[in-house]
């Protein structure tokens, strides 16, 4: 059952492009499937199934693959963070420049904006 929550920011279907993202990450690091298999303990055949056949690994296997690739779970659960966004970069730099009290104010304002926005159709 899904709770009705006004604060839900948005949902991302992480399984849609999981294999494509994993393959891209592996290739960008210059790893073969064999090398990733050795680093992660996941069989080459299963890596092929994830990358090319739409298989979705269980959490422990996903964890092993992410660690083998040197990736954070954010790579899977927050794919929008891969987007080059100068405004977001600027906001993050400003946030880091704030003290603890100011950060709380920023978080409270952002939560208020999300809570009070009009429903999206």
Say whether pLDDT at 84 is over 70: no
Query: What pTM was estimated for this model as a whole?
Result: 0.62
Task: Please tell me whether residue 115 adopts helix, strand or coil conformation.
Answer: helix
Which residues contact residue 49 at a Cβ distance below 8 angstroms, ignoring those fewer than 6 apart?
Answer: 55
Comparing 6 with 76, the larger pLDDT belongs to 76
Q: Where are the domains of the chain?
A: 18-81, 84-115
Per-residue pLDDT tens over the stretch 94-113:
999 999 999 999 999 999 99
Of 1.10.260.40, 2.40.50.140, 2.130.10.10, 3.40.1500.10, the CATH number of 18-81 is 1.10.260.40
pLDDT digits (tens, 9 = 90+) for 25-62: 999 899 999 999 999 999 999 999 999 999 999 999 99
How do residues 56-72 score in pLDDT, each as one tens digit? 999 999 999 999 998 88
Q: What does the pLDDT average to over 73-95? A: 78
- What's residue 69's pLDDT? 92
Measure the CA–CA gap between 87 and 4, rounded to whole angstroms: 30
């Amino acid at each position: 059952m899904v709770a009705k929550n006004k604060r839900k920011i948005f949902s991302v279907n992480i399984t849609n492009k999981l294999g494509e993202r994993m393959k891209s990450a592996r290739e960008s690091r210059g790893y073969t499937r064999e090398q990733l298999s050795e680093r992660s303990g996941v069989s080459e055949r299963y890596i092929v199934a994830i990358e090319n056949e739409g298989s979705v690994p269980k959490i422990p296997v996903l964890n092993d693959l992410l660690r083998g690739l040197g990736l954070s779970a954010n790579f899977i659960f927050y794919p929008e963070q891969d987007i080059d966004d100068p405004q977001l970069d600027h906001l993050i730099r400003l946030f880091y420049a704030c003290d603890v009290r100011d950060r709380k104010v920023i978080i409270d304002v952002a939560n208020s904006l999300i809570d009070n926005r009009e429903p999206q159709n």
